[in-house]
Amino acid sequence: MSDDQQRPVQPDTPEPGPPQSLSKNALKKAARAERFAAYKVERRAREKEAKKEKKRMLRAKCAAGEIGEDEKRRKKKPRLHFGGRVVVDLGFDDKMNEKEIKSLCSQLAYTYSANRNATYPFSLVYTSLNGRTLTRLEGMNDAGYKRWTNTEWWPESYERLTVGSQENIRHNIIYLTADSEEELTELKPEETYIIGGICDHNRYKNLCLKRAKESGIRTARLPIGRYLASLPTRKVLTVNQVFEILLKWVETKSWEEALYAVVPKRKYQIGKSVSSMANSDNAEDREDRDEDADKPDSSVVVIEQAEAVEA
């Protein structure tokens, strides 16, 4: 047998080509992600050291008698539960693009952070948790949302609230929407308030209103037009802004104070009366709704900050 017959036939293998080069946008994104990862590690190290130093100084002051028991008690912020419940309806996953999903998750993190630091926190329930919203939350800070205190996460719809409930209980469930004909006058501890968890840039008209009507529950709108008449007619706010307004009302019992404390100042100018407020530019409204989505993983930063407070 010849050498050619003994030698096994080698399959033809293509010559390795030049490595595929990334586009400029992909390179920029990769560099930005790398910078942010390095920044996050550095920031966490700084925060850890700052926390240690703060505890050390506090112990030193206590040992020296510079901080008395009264001051210690004052430093401990009292937290009294209002009794009411806020539900964020996440059942709009199919109506948002990826950028809007990212922005929504940032808003959810801000709601938790605001509730965590509130004097009168609500019980928070997030419903219809699934799809891309769930996937993004799972990927944020090692699924940090599962460690949020005083919160519940339901894969089911908010309609679980009404299953087998009596008519008086159903009457105490209110879906907040700017399209409602009824204006909310006050918050009651026995009531549940639903906020539509959607970042849609005002594409879908009457979406939450129709949803609530199909469920047979009440709707109401915040009294924004009464105090901030210069805002756009439909008065679209982010999920966390609506939630923070509710928190502020519980604290102050004043819609005017709550609205002025939460709505960005650039959206209006304070005049002699509500009717004298100047109209704001629509581009600023869009900018305000987009500002979370444009930040790299801003929701991760908020979650870490909130968890640092709990630590």
Question: Among 3-12, 178-187, 250-259, 296-305, which is the least confidently predicted range?
Answer: 296-305
- Predicted confidence band of residue 40 (pLDDT cuts 50, 70, 90): confident
Our answer to whether residue 297 is catalytic in this structure is no
The architecture of the domain spanning 85-310 is 3-Layer(aba) Sandwich (3.40)
Measured between alpha carbons, how far is 88 from 90 in angstroms, rounded to an integer? Answer: 6
pTM of the model: 0.66
pLDDT on residue 290: 43
> What are the residue boundaries of the structural domains of the chain, listed by start?
85-310
Q: Which of 53, 75, 55 is nearest to 63 (CA)?
A: 55
DSSP-derived letter for residue 14 is P
Catalytic residue from among 179, 200, 288, 292: 200
Q: pLDDT of 78-110, one tens digit each?
A: 667 788 899 999 999 999 999 999 999 999 999
CA distances from 17 to 13, 14, 26, 39, 83 (A): 12, 8, 21, 36, 66
CA distances from 13 to 6, 10, 20 (A): 21, 9, 19
Higher-confidence residue of 218 and 164: namely 218
Measured between alpha carbons, how far is 63 from 59 in angstroms, rounded to an integer? Answer: 6
Q: pLDDT of 146-158, one tens digit each?
A: 999 889 999 999 9
Q: Does the pLDDT of residue 73 top 60, yes or no?
A: no
3-state SS assignment for residue 88: strand
